[in-house]
Chain A
């Protein structure tokens, strides 16, 4: 069974559209994250949730809105997509305090 699963793996969409990426973990972890990996492979934290509460919210446009319905799920909704949003988005989870991050397989978002 996949520990951290995110869907879809690939997402191609037009500028201005709204899209969502879903993430689920079955590890019983209490902390979940969204990371963005740009075209130069740089990984940057976007959000972190602990037990459904937002604990890290980096400088991210408010077009990005995370939602955590329960501690096993953390979804990312993006409004009014822009060309610069094209990247790979990774979901991850960990215990708190963390021993390590468990990553999903990533969602490659392409905005045309």
Chain B
């Protein structure tokens, strides 16, 4: 089974500052996808960013970017210019194609943006 580890249960950041959330995963596959999902207090799961393992270029979505280190099996999320609305649980996820689309989620990091 694939495993996804998020070693930071809780983090906080001052508004407008930058914060990095860590994620490592374990797999023997070469082709897979990695995701960061955000779950605000509303409970809705929202896709933040997606990375394809065969792409060397790190994905970016506005203030969100990743540092994908394939050899180290590391997939960290950087949030720049943090906003109050970024307060949420953040889940790292791994998906291997052609296995029924099974997504494996990490245990989550609770991020609080402090005004």
Contact = CB atoms under 8 A, between A and B. Distances in A.
Interface of A: 31, 33, 40-45, 48, 50, 55-56, 88, 90, 92, 94, 96-101, 103, 105-106, 108
A41 B101 contact: no
What interface size band does chain B fall in? 20 to 34
B45 A50 contact: no
B45 A55 contact: no
Contacts of A45: 102-103
B43 to A, nearest CB: 5
A97 B100 CA distance: 8
B95 A90 contact: no
Most central of B43, B50, B91 by chain A CB within 10 Å: B43
A106 to B, nearest CB: 5
Most central of B33, B95, B101 by chain A CB within 10 Å: B101
Contact of A96 (B43, B45, B101): B101
B101 A98 contact: yes
Given A42-B108, A97-B98, A100-B50, A105 B103 contact: no
Nearest to A30: B101
B95 A98 contact: yes
B89 interface: yes
Given A40-B107, A94-B101, A98-B33, 9 more contacts: A33-B101, A43-B91, A48-B101, A50-B100, A56-B102, A98-B95, A98-B101, A99-B33, A101-B103
Interface string B18-47: 000000000000000101010100111101
A40 B33 CA distance: 25
Contact of B107 (A31, A42, A94): A42
A62 B35 CA distance: 31
B102 to A, nearest CB: 6
